[in-house]
Amino acid sequence: MGRWIAAAIVLFVAAALIYSFATNSRVQWGVVGDYLFDARVLRGVRATLELTVVAMAIGIVLGVILAVMRLSPNPIVKSASWLYIWFFRGTPVLLQILFWGIGISALYPKISIGIPFGGPVIASGNANHIITLFVAAILGLGLNEGAYMAEIVRAGIISVDEGQHEAAHSLGMTRLQTMRRIVLPQAMRVIIPPTGNETISMLKTTSLVSVIAYTELLYAVQLIYSVNFKTIPLLIVAALWYLFFTTILSIGQYYIERHYARGSSRDLPPTPLQRLRWAALARREWN
């Protein structure tokens, strides 16, 4: 009985909220519809997706490298990784984005490739041309993400039974072979769920690069409403797009997790689609 009352209260409150929001004329749902597929908004969506994909790719690659370094028996390699994580986790990502977007060209107006410590220069260029807004945004987001992914990957590696390392070593596999073929694939089961969270989080964190005037989704709608003052409808447009992609990512994460759960349990639970199909089949047999 108590369950029904609780459910009724929750449903009532939810319905009231949705009703008041949906019928609020100041939301201007018509305007939301007008701008949802506006070319400028769609370009912003594309930029947000590009940033998410590239920054996460950099973050994951860096994370794996840093995690393996962190677990290395070599003390210098180990401390280098520790230092990186300490720095990039210890400062706000917004600050890092500002640094790459604005600070770096003030600090190093010219960027050169060559032998360091005053050796010959092979190539050089203006920092503002090399570090475009996109590169600055990617550096800010990706390098920061690397530090977080390193900790996630490290937790995954540690979760794999010591016996797996020993079995691989006793077969003559080197440390790197053991990592790549035996340990990391098993660590995936622990690494994937938080990486999914990181990706979803990254999709939204990309909005921070609006501070260096890179036109991703949020900055795109800001540019529009700074002209027409339709602030609320345009923020809703952006919110709807973020929600759409986080939903897609959550579904993707579910299937990837299933894939890496192989071998850990005898039978995997059915996916929602399979359940639906079986239910439909069962009903047909019933009749």
Query: Using CA atoms, how far apart are residues 128 and 134, in angstroms rounded to an integer?
Result: 11
CA distance 130 to 105: 10
Nearest to another protein of 28, 164 (CB atom): 164
Minimum distance, C-beta of residue 181 to another protein, in the bound complex (Å):
7
Rounded least distance, CB 65 to another protein, Å: 18
Residue 193 interacting with another protein (CB under 8 A): no
φ and ψ at 46, to 5 degrees? -60, -45
Q: Which residue in the set 20, 23, 170, 287 belongs to the binding site for another protein (CB under 8 A)?
A: 170
3-state secondary structure 205-272: HHHHHHHHCCCCHHHHHHHHHHHHCCHHHHHHHHHHHHHHHHHHHHHHHHHHHHHHCCCCCCCCCCCH
**Closer residue to another protein in complex, CB, 162/285:** 162
Q: Supply the minimum distance, in Å, between the C-beta of residue 122 and another protein.
A: 33
Q: How far is the CB of 15 from another protein (least distance, A)?
A: 46
As measured in angstroms, the least distance from the Cβ of 158 to another protein is 17
Q: Does 182 bind another protein (CB under 8 A)?
A: yes
Establish if 262 lies at the interface with another protein (CB under 8 A): yes
169 touching another protein, by CB under 8 A: yes
Between 120 and 163, CB nearer to another protein: 163
265 is an interface residue for another protein by CB under 8 A? yes
- Cβ proximity of 68 and 179 under 8 Å: yes
Binding residue for another protein, selected from 72, 177, 197, 201, defined by CB under 8 A:
177
Please report how close the Cβ of residue 78 comes to another protein at its closest, in angstroms. 16
Q: Report whether 101 contacts 143 (CB < 8 A).
A: no
Quote the longest CA-to-CA distance of the chain.
84
Is 171 a binding residue for another protein by CB under 8 A? The answer is yes
Cβ closest to another protein, residue 40 vs residue 259 = 259
Instruction: Tokens 């201007």: give the residue.
Output: 28
**Min dist. Cβ of residue 266 to another protein (A):** 6
- Per rule CB under 8 A, is residue 40 in the interface with another protein? no
Quick one: 68 exposed, middle or buried, by C-beta within 10 A (0-12, 13-18, 19+)?
A: buried
Q: Are 144 and 99 in contact (CB under 8 A)?
A: no
Regarding 71 and contact with another protein (CB under 8 A), the answer is no
Residue of the chain from 175, 211, 239, 253 that contacts another protein (CB under 8 A):
175
Sign of CA dihedral 7, 13, 19, 22: negative
Contacts of 244 (CB under 8 A, 6+ apart): none
**Does 174 engage in binding with another protein (CB under 8 A)?**
yes
User: Is 10 in contact with 17 (CB distance < 8 Å)?
Assistant: no
**Which one of 75, 172, 269, 272 is in contact with another protein (CB under 8 A)?**
172
Residues that bind another protein (CB under 8 A): 161, 163-164, 166-175, 177, 181-182, 185-186, 262-266
